[in-house]
Amino acid sequence: MTVVPGESYQVVYVNGQGETVERAMSEDEMSLLFDLEMWAEEYGQLKNMESFRAVLEASRSAVDESEGNSAVKIERKVFESYAKFGFTREQVSNLIVLADEGRQPSEMVPDAIGIGKRKAEIMRQVWDEYLSSANKSTYIKLAAGIVVLGAAEGIAPMLIKEMMDSDTVNTAALCGAGYLSASVGIGYLKRLMSLNFDQFVNEVMEQPGGLNEQIAFDLSFRPGELMTQADSRGQVLTALQRGQDAFRDILTSTAKFTAPAVAMAATGLGMMMISDWRLGLVSLASMPIMVAIGRRADRAGLPILEKTYDNESQTVQEVEDQISAHMETVLSGARDRSGRHLEGLLQRKNLLALEQSRVRTATNMMLQDFMSPAVFAALTVAGAAMKASGAGEAGGVIAAIIYSSMFRNAFSGIVEQQNSLIESCVEITELEETFNGYAKEETRADADRISAGELPDLSIDFRDVTLDLDGQRIIDGASFSVPAGSVTQLVGLSGSGKTTLMKIMAGYYRASSGEARIGGVPVGDVKKTGPESIYTRLAYQGQTPYVFESGTLRDNLTFGNPDADEEMMAQVVRELRLKRFITRKGVNFDGSAVGVSGGERIRLALARTIIKIRSLKNGGIVFLDEPTVGLDETNWREVARVLKEEKACSPNITYVVVSHEPAFVQALSEGQDGQPALKVRTVNIEDGKVRGLDKPSD
């Protein structure tokens, strides 16, 4: 079976006569294939969970739970079994929680009762977490106003009954005018209240501590090791795009749609019962069927919805990767392969959209094409029979039909809104899982951490440090020290773990086990936020430094250096020969960074690093990961000269260097033009392990 553009799936098989048949799959066959894939995947998930529970129980049997820290030991043993399959430590931890609760992951249990409980829990969570007491009061007032209007809308059709049953033209005209005025007035007030409610929701999202602020800061505080995972960027982008809409929908769905629809339907049903209880019962009899239809739509829609979200994350990630590596894709001749892969994801998206459409169409057909005509016919027959027997009037029958229509439309709207609410609940859950309150967690933890200024020095000490990323061990039992004020070079082949070690030293990655210390204090016990953060004492230049091309020179130089003055910045720009920004009148700090070359990008990042070094009055650590990539000899020698000058001015500054340019490191260790030579220590790295420490060069 193959995928043919424009023809979906193409199947080739040998029939009973031995003939080879090739044809496109029909729509029904594709639908069946999709269902089989979905069911097979769910069955596989269930079997995997059974296997996971068995491994968990075996791990518990192997660990003495009376010993301290037994939960961590159990988790570590389970992780050792599942790391080879690509599971992260966090994923294993979450699965243990699910297994202990005796249930499957939520996507494996798409029953209506479970969905209802999830909706209620998530809506309550949004209510408690994002709305202040004043917000809740405003919400209730606005919602109450909309509900009252919904109830009033349910009363208005009684004027039609009075009009039809009136004995005089004047009374009929008065009732008709009253119905028209009431309908127009209620409609106007509903739209006005709806706009006010939308404005209120915007204010809730934008207020201090609101959703927008939480998303922004949680992204900034997201752990570095999570950002390196293969699916992380696509997941973050799709969660961000959908999360805000989901939050808005959760707040508005009940107040603007469900509650007023219920009020209108209940009022209408009550008025029908008052008008003629027999006609009211005919319409009321349709309710159990409508409830069953709504529950069926819930059960059918959730598995498809979750697969749609997985597909969207993969598609976004693929598009981002293709944009980032467009030149490499073209020049390597891999355009066809990349295009086919993206095409397959897009085709999968179309199939999922088709399945969603089928569920919606089936639901609407049952509610609108079957229930509405059936109830209308039943009311008409009942009304005609009552009128023939003298037990009813025409006005009552017409009012009953209008009320019945309003009732069914309201219920249809509720079903549709509840389906939308399911999507929003899944989306807000995805948002919470992706961003996970990292900013609040870090801020709370910082309250018990020591400030960078309290550290006795900025020495670095690794003790049996390991790091696992995406289920692979990247650093394996690294132990070494970097004295404060030293110059240390990490040496090893590409992929040996030098950059990863540097990121652990800087606190960007958290060690999976072992201990990384700075100034004799575990890195995790030093403040990570605010003016006393360890990051105020660090400067980091990576292999592919980030440049704000949409910003100015000032924007780029003050990134991480908010207090830098123009005189110092201008001096650094001249020293690093950033000629693009140097004019006859001086340095153009408002010059655009659009279109900077590779070499200019490196020098611009170096300028930012040098400015940070000069601001580190009480010592700091400077991480230089391939700082001279893309620079010619003249320029990298100039960089070496500037770094030696900075070291001479601030002896307590620590340099940690990774460079595949031996001459650059040699230039650092050579004294020239009156500059003292730097003593460079060497840490040898091989396959994530520290193989030795060379003495400092003189």
CB 681 within 8 Å of CB 665: no
Predicted local confidence at residue 5, as pLDDT? 38
Would 380 be classed as within a structural domain?
A: yes
Of the residues 58, 76, 108, the one at which a domain ends: 108
Distance in Å from the first CA to the final CA of the chain: 67
Q: Are residues 345 and 478 in the same domain?
A: no
- Nearest to 493, CA basis, from 688, 696, 692: 688
- Nearest to 122, CA basis, from 13, 25, 250: 250
The 10 Å Cβ neighbour count of residue 373 is: 10
Q: Are residues 467 and 416 in the same domain?
A: no
Higher pLDDT, 1 or 270: 270
Q: Are residues 234 and 310 in the same domain?
A: yes
Would 335 be classed as within a structural domain?
A: yes
Of the residues 108, 142, 159, the one at which a domain ends: 108
Q: Give the pLDDT band of residue 698 (cuts 50, 70, 90).
A: very low
Q: Are residues 101 and 37 in the same domain?
A: yes
Range of the domain at 427: 208-441
Residue with tokens 């202040």: 132
Backbone angles phi, psi at 520, to 5 degrees: 80, 0
Q: Are residues 436 and 553 in the same domain?
A: no
Would 200 be classed as within a structural domain?
A: no
Would 174 be classed as within a structural domain?
A: no
**678: which DSSP letter?**
P
Of the residues 108, 127, 159, the one at which a domain ends: 108
Q: Are residues 367 and 421 in the same domain?
A: yes
Would 231 be classed as within a structural domain?
A: yes
Q: Are residues 392 and 507 in the same domain?
A: no
Looking at the structure of the chain, the number of domains it has is: 3
The three-class DSSP label of residue 668 is: helix
**For position 353, which CATH number holds?**
1.20.1560.10
Could you report the per-residue pLDDT of 566-585, keeping only the tens digit for each?
Answer: 888 898 888 888 888 888 77
What value does the mean pLDDT of the chain take?
74
Residue 315 vs residues 236, 329, 336, 619: alpha-carbon distances, Å: 13, 17, 17, 46
Q: Are residues 536 and 675 in the same domain?
A: yes
The 10 Å Cβ neighbour count of residue 180 is: 12
Helix extents (H) in 436-552 = 438-446, 498-505
Predicted local confidence at residue 212, as pLDDT? 81
Strand 487-491, strand 680-686: pairing = parallel
Number of residues written out for the chain: 698
Would 603 be classed as within a structural domain?
A: yes
DSSP notation for 586-612: EE-TT-B-TT--HHHHHHHHHHHHHHH
Sheet of 2-4, strands arranged across: 2-4, 8-14, 20-24
The H or E element spanning position 478 is strand 472-482
CA distance 551 to 61: 58
Could you report the per-residue pLDDT of 181-240, keeping only the tens digit for each?
Answer: 888 888 888 888 888 888 898 888 888 888 888 877 877 777 777 776 655 666 677 777
- Return the percent helix, strand and coil in the chain, to nearest 5: 65, 10, 25
Would 7 be classed as within a structural domain?
A: no
Q: Is the pLDDT of residue 556 over 60?
A: yes
Residue 218 vs residues 224, 432, 540: alpha-carbon distances, Å: 12, 10, 21
Residue with tokens 């917000």: 135
Q: Are residues 612 and 650 in the same domain?
A: yes
**In the predicted model, what is the mean pLDDT of residues 523-536?**
87
Q: Are residues 87 and 217 in the same domain?
A: no
Q: Are residues 302 and 362 in the same domain?
A: yes
The three-class DSSP label of residue 160 is: helix
Could you report the per-residue pLDDT of 74-93, keeping only the tens digit for each?
Answer: 777 777 776 655 566 666 76
Query: Which residues, in sequence order, are CB contacts of 410 under 8 Å at separation 6+?
Result: 261, 262, 264, 265, 268
